[in-house]
Amino acid sequence: MIKLRSKRSISKLGNGNKATSPAEKDCRSFTEVKWELRPGGMLVQKRESNLGEGDGLITIRVTTVSKWHDISIESTSTFGELKMILSLVTSLEPREQRLLFKGKERDDSEFLHMIGVKDKDKVLLLEDPVLKEKKLLGLARGQTFNNPCCTISV
């Protein structure tokens, strides 16, 4: 995140020739605007949030069929980066994983905060059924070829 400071002038409200108090002068003079650079490259005014300065970590509960994992990750990370972390926790490679959030499968290039993933949200992790089937077929073929009691003629 890039922090830029700029000053925004607030125009005078038509108060005619009335005298203004010092408090009104302070309010109208300048207000500080904080800017942030979004992952897409857009420079926008910083949103107010409950998180502290520089604290962008969120905790996501990733559930599988039988287990769940609490993962702490930056909110500006991508689903691909989440898959890399999950590959360390589970035995699944990132290409074997399918991540679903709010009922939709998410691409590796999508950012968590842009999709709306917030702290303590849940993401569903499924194993890709096509790769799972290929893996099982490969194991079944490997067992028949390596089995010394069976002879296979080609």
d(CA 13, CA 94): 58
Mean pLDDT of all residues belonging to the chain? 76
pLDDT band at 122 (very low <50, low <70, confident <90, very high): very high
67-115 pLDDT per residue, tens = 899 999 998 999 999 999 999 988 889 999 999 999 999 999 999 999 9
Question: In sequence order, what are the residues at sequence separation of 6 or more whose Cβ sits closer than 8 angstroms to the Cβ of residue 28?
Answer: 10, 12, 20
Question: According to the model, what pLDDT value does residue 73 have?
Answer: 92
Q: What is the mean pLDDT of residues 45-73?
A: 78
Enumerate the CATH 3.10.20.90 domain ranges in the chain, comma separated.
57-133
Residue 125, beta-bridge partner list: 99
Higher-confidence residue of 104 and 21: namely 104
Arithmetic mean of pLDDT, 24-34: 64
SS3 45: strand
Q: What pLDDT was estimated at residue 106? A: 93
Q: Give the CA diameter of the chain.
A: 105
Reported as a pLDDT band with limits 50, 70 and 90, residue 154 is very low
Q: Which CATH number fits domain 57-133: 3.30.450.40, 3.90.1150.10, 3.40.50.2300, 3.10.20.90?
A: 3.10.20.90
Residue 87 is inside which H or E element, if any? Answer: helix 79-89
Return the higher-pLDDT residue of 5 and 74: 74
Sign of torsion over alpha carbons 147, 149, 150, 154: positive
